[in-house]
Amino acid sequence: MRELLGPEPILARDAFLLDPAVAFLNHGSFGATPRVVLDAQSEWRERLEREPVAFMVDTLPGALRATADRLGSVVGAFGDDVVWVDNATTGACAVLGSMQLAPDDEIAVCDHVYGAVRNAALHFAKRAGARVIEAPVPFPIDGPDAVVEAFSSIVGPRTRLVIVDHVTSWSGLVFPIERIVALCRDRGIPVLIDGAHAPGMVPLQLDALGADYYVGNCHKWLFAPKGCGFLWARRDRQRDLHPPVISHGWGKGFHEEFDWTGTRDPSPWLSLQASLDFVDGLGIERIRAHNEALLESAAAYLAARWDVAIPSPVAMRRSLCTFRVPATGAVDLDAAMTLHGALQRRGVQVPVWSQGGGLWLRISAQVHNRPLDYVRLGDALLDVLGGA
């Protein structure tokens, strides 16, 4: 089977700087930024450099707040409840670092948690003599009930925070966060949603969600330049929330503390306006429909080509799908890195993980992808495994 019929891209690949020789199937890790957005970023930088003092002092505070309002309209939040961070990890560290943990307190996560966020939880827990409790979520998975059951089984009287991914990293699953939030609220436990992948990929209504904290990246599925993350916090949580870097805004309120954490290049945040113009130009519903249709046709194609099952139900997928690599032999980190390198040398960019005794490979679908990208992956993997 050599052909894959799926939707064609809804714009030319050269709208991005992506190397035309590479089948780029890892939009998830760092995103890819369109040329028009990079141009807008250059313009912001030039504006800053023409008069750095006037820009930082007079222009920047209002521009950041206006951009927060615009982002709020996309994620279903008041702009006032959104502050800027470099990335989701920084936002998670702000929440964890602001907690008053005591010995034997617990932070609950599951084993699909993003590694950097797990490390942050371990670090802040260790400083206080607290613990991180990790619930196993099966993968392959039949449906969202398994996620709710997993969290339900580990939260208890000592749980001070639940951290749950909206879209998981290595397994590419959309988790039932509304149900996890409800579970936590019933038990009076604060919940931090790690939405690193969600903005742009999944419709969001943060005000209605009822979580305590939500961190998201705009540099993945909203096409912003790298370093455009945000932290949303419920009003009653904002007063005791501080950024990892304390600067001039300390004690002056949520916006002042986060929007200035020392001198830095604010252009990734400011260029979000251009990213959202780009999204609006294509239509967010159209982008999502394209990505989901392409992902499903690609997943079905690859499953047949490699003779493997898709380990997740369609209801838990949007623009990412993870497969178990049909490899025999070692399944450790070295094997994952070797396979990744072998695919990269064949012109295919796709992440590979060693997890839970298996090797896993995650595909993504975005507006720059073509059906041919997945055909190349299908061939490349069989070539590497010696089965072409």
Closer Cβ to ligand PLP, 165 or 212, answer by number: 165
221 binds ligand PLP (CB under 6 A): no
Q: Which of 197, 237, 317, 376 is in the footprint of ligand PLP by CB under 6 A?
A: 197
- DSSP state for residue 368 in the 8-state scheme: T
Q: How far is the CB of 309 from ligand PLP (least distance, A)?
A: 23
SS3 320: strand
Per CB under 6 A, contacts with ligand PLP among 237-266 are none
SS3 38: helix
218 binds ligand PLP (CB under 6 A): no
Q: How far is the CB of 192 from ligand PLP (least distance, A)?
A: 11
Q: Kind of pairing, strands 348-349 and 23-24?
A: parallel
Greatest Cα pair distance, the chain, in angstroms, is 63
Residue showing tokens 């930024």: 33
Size of the site for ligand PLP (CB under 6 A): 13
22 binds ligand PLP (CB under 6 A): no
Distance of CA 10 to the CA centre of its chain: 23
Closer Cβ to ligand PLP, 194 or 212, answer by number: 194
Give the pair of three-digit tokens for residue 333: 């980190």
Rg (CA), the chain: 21
Per CB under 6 A, contacts with ligand PLP among 100-119 are 114, 116-117
What is the spatial order of strands in the sheet that 82-85 belongs to?
82-85, 229-233, 213-217, 191-195, 159-165, 106-110, 131-135
Q: How far is the CB of 178 from ligand PLP (least distance, A)?
A: 17
Q: Kind of pairing, strands 348-349 and 320-324?
A: unpaired
Q: How far is the CB of 157 from ligand PLP (least distance, A)?
A: 28
Q: How far is the CB of 87 from ligand PLP (least distance, A)?
A: 3
- DSSP strand E in the chain: where? 23-24, 82-85, 106-110, 131-135, 159-165, 191-195, 213-217, 229-233, 320-324, 348-349, 352-355, 358-364
Q: How far is the CB of 88 from ligand PLP (least distance, A)?
A: 4
Identify which range of 120-128, 192-200, 259-267, 286-294 contacts ligand PLP by CB under 6 A: 192-200
| Rounded Cα distance, 123 and 93, in Å | 10
Per CB under 6 A, contacts with ligand PLP among 354-373 are none
| Rounded Cα distance, 340 and 344, in Å | 6
89 binds ligand PLP (CB under 6 A): yes
217 binds ligand PLP (CB under 6 A): yes
Closer Cβ to ligand PLP, 116 or 245, answer by number: 116
Q: How far is the CB of 220 from ligand PLP (least distance, A)?
A: 7
Q: Which of 159, 169, 267, 322 is in the footprint of ligand PLP by CB under 6 A?
A: 169
| Rounded Cα distance, 208 and 286, in Å | 24
Q: Which of 26, 41, 87, 312 is in the footprint of ligand PLP by CB under 6 A?
A: 87
Identify which range of 82-90, 235-243, 295-303, 357-365 contacts ligand PLP by CB under 6 A: 82-90
Q: How far is the CB of 218 from ligand PLP (least distance, A)?
A: 10
Q: Which of 4, 40, 74, 88 is in the footprint of ligand PLP by CB under 6 A?
A: 88
Helix axes 284-306, 272-282, angle to 10 degrees: 80
Per CB under 6 A, contacts with ligand PLP among 114-153 are 114, 116-117
165 binds ligand PLP (CB under 6 A): yes
CB count in 10 Å sphere of residue 35 = 12
SS3 224: coil
Q: Which of 79, 83, 101, 194 is in the footprint of ligand PLP by CB under 6 A?
A: 194
Closer Cβ to ligand PLP, 44 or 221, answer by number: 221
| Rounded Cα distance, 23 and 370, in Å | 9
Contact call for residues 317 and 174 (beta carbons, < 8 A): yes
Contact call for residues 167 and 159 (beta carbons, < 8 A): no
Strand partners, 195: 216
Q: Which of 8, 17, 29, 281 is in the footprint of ligand PLP by CB under 6 A?
A: 29
Q: How far is the CB of 168 from ligand PLP (least distance, A)?
A: 6
Which positions touch ligand PLP (CB under 6 A)? 29, 87-89, 114, 116-117, 165, 169, 194, 196-197, 217
